[in-house]
Amino acid sequence: MTLKKVALNDIHEKLGAKMVPFAGYNMPVRYSSDKEEHLAVRNSVGIFDVSHMGEFMLEGPEALSLIQRVTSNDASKLEVGQAQYTCLPNEDGGIVDDLLVYKMAEEKYMLVVNASNIEKDWNWLTKYNTNGVKMENISDSMSLFAVQGPKATQALQSLTATNLDDIKFYTFVVGEFAGTPNVIISATGYTGAGGFEIYVDNQYAGQVWSAIMEAGQEQDIKPIGLGARDTLRLEMGFCLYGNDIDDTTSPHEAGLGWITKYTKEFTNWQNLKQQKEEGIKRKLVGFLMEDKGIPRQGYDIRNEAGETIGQVTSGTLSPLLNIGIGLGYVSKVYSKSETTIYIAVRNKILKAVVKKLPLI
């Protein structure tokens, strides 16, 4: 398979990024240092090119009904200009993907999906689209920049007449930005640091990227790679599809009960509702290492008696805390905050403690 390139591939290479294959795309994983990039976002502002993400437009009188039937959250609550985090449950108790739903207009929605799942999600939606909703996959023509950090508003305000302070969390506006029409400015993100996600047509991507880099000079804006994107989301305890959630994990097990609403019928809702009522057997938890060591995906989680009680699904060194942190599934009895657990890090058993999310 040939690697796809984002519109600004050459810009990233010129900036000295280390490029790696990710979800079929050649993506910048790091420009300078994972730690520096991570801290730039926590303390100031950074820009990520996440144009590998997929975007589908759904339009027509039945668009909402299709979204309601395939997603777990209640999209009927959305007003125009609002976005919602949700997931596509599968028929077997797991998750096809997690995604954002944007209500662009009455009868018009944009779905933003993981790059690795674009084809899978498209086929899934197509299968359920029995009511003639007009679907368009615009992934290949849309660029997406995440501008994240406490100084994001300051960095971007000069580029638009829209008052960025007015864009509340999980809302968006479509307007002129950096001299470019029809840009979606969305107060969303995957870092917990605040900021915006900027959706722009590929033909304007270079112009918008350069404008942001220039406008953010005073805030010392830095380009940020996927490496720091992962450590930032992990400090917050945000799920990563393929690590922490997948075709076999239920929304309730993953702590996504808050986006699973039984106010309507959707794929596998009866079984999921039953699971919620009867109680889950395992749960995704966040944990901090107490002993020195770094948890990694696939390491066993054990109890004091040495029995395996689960597996690490994501792990890293937290650049902010400077200790190992992770997410993993454990048997329900070990899922309470402050429970001591043990991580099998290669040949050692290291002590860790379950913590409420976020981990920082």
* Among residues 28, 310, 319, 326, the one that binds other proteins under rule CB under 8 A: 319
* Among residues 5, 69, 108, 296, the one that binds other proteins under rule CB under 8 A: 296
Structure tokens at 323: 């200790």
Taking the C-alpha atoms of 226, 187, 283 and 296 in order, what is their torsion angle to the nearest 10 degrees? 10
Query: Least distance (Å) from other proteins to the CB of residue 244?
Result: 16
Q: What residues between 85 and 144 interact with other proteins by CB under 8 A?
A: none
* Among residues 75, 316, 329, 352, the one that binds other proteins under rule CB under 8 A: 316
Query: Least distance (Å) from other proteins to the CB of residue 343?
Result: 13
DSSP for 83-96, please give it: EEEEEEE-TTSSEE
C-beta separation of 164 from 144 below 8 A? no
- Judged by CB, which is closer to other proteins: 20, or 135? 20
Which secondary structure element, helix H or strand E, spans residue 66, and what is its range? helix 63-70
- Judged by CB, which is closer to other proteins: 120, or 296? 296
Q: How far is Cα of residue 225 from the mean position of the Cα atoms in its chain?
A: 14
Task: Using DSSP, state whether 68 is helix, strand or coil.
Answer: helix
* Among residues 15, 294, 344, 353, the one that binds other proteins under rule CB under 8 A: 294
Q: With binding defined as CB under 8 A, does residue 69 bind other proteins?
A: no
- Judged by CB, which is closer to other proteins: 159, or 317? 317
Burial of 282 (0-12, 13-18, 19+ CB in 10 A): buried
Report the helix count and the strand count for the chain, using DSSP H and E. Answer: 8, 20
Query: Least distance (Å) from other proteins to the CB of residue 311?
Result: 16
Q: What is the CA radius of gyration of the chain?
A: 20
Query: Least distance (Å) from other proteins to the CB of residue 194?
Result: 22
Beta strand extents in the chain (DSSP E only): 4-5, 18-22, 25-30, 46-49, 54-59, 83-89, 95-105, 108-113, 134-137, 142-148, 172-177, 180-186, 195-201, 222-223, 282-289, 300-302, 308-317, 324-331, 340-345, 348-355
Query: x/- binding map, residues 219-238, to other proteins, per CB under 8 A?
Result: --------x--xx-------
Q: With binding defined as CB under 8 A, does residue 30 bind other proteins?
A: yes
Q: With binding defined as CB under 8 A, does residue 355 bind other proteins?
A: no
Query: Least distance (Å) from other proteins to the CB of residue 228?
Result: 8
Query: Binding segment for other proteins among 88-96, 146-154, 274-282, 312-320 (CB under 8 A)?
Result: 312-320
Structure tokens at 278: 């009867």
Rounded Cα distance, 87 and 162, in Å: 30
Q: With binding defined as CB under 8 A, does residue 360 bind other proteins?
A: no
Query: Least distance (Å) from other proteins to the CB of residue 37?
Result: 10
- What letter represents residue 233's amino acid? R
Query: Binding segment for other proteins among 51-59, 161-169, 179-187, 286-294 (CB under 8 A)?
Result: 286-294
* Among residues 78, 185, 256, 317, the one that binds other proteins under rule CB under 8 A: 317
In the complex, the residues that contact other proteins under the rule CB under 8 A are: 18, 30, 33-35, 38, 227, 230-231, 292-294, 296, 316-317, 319, 346
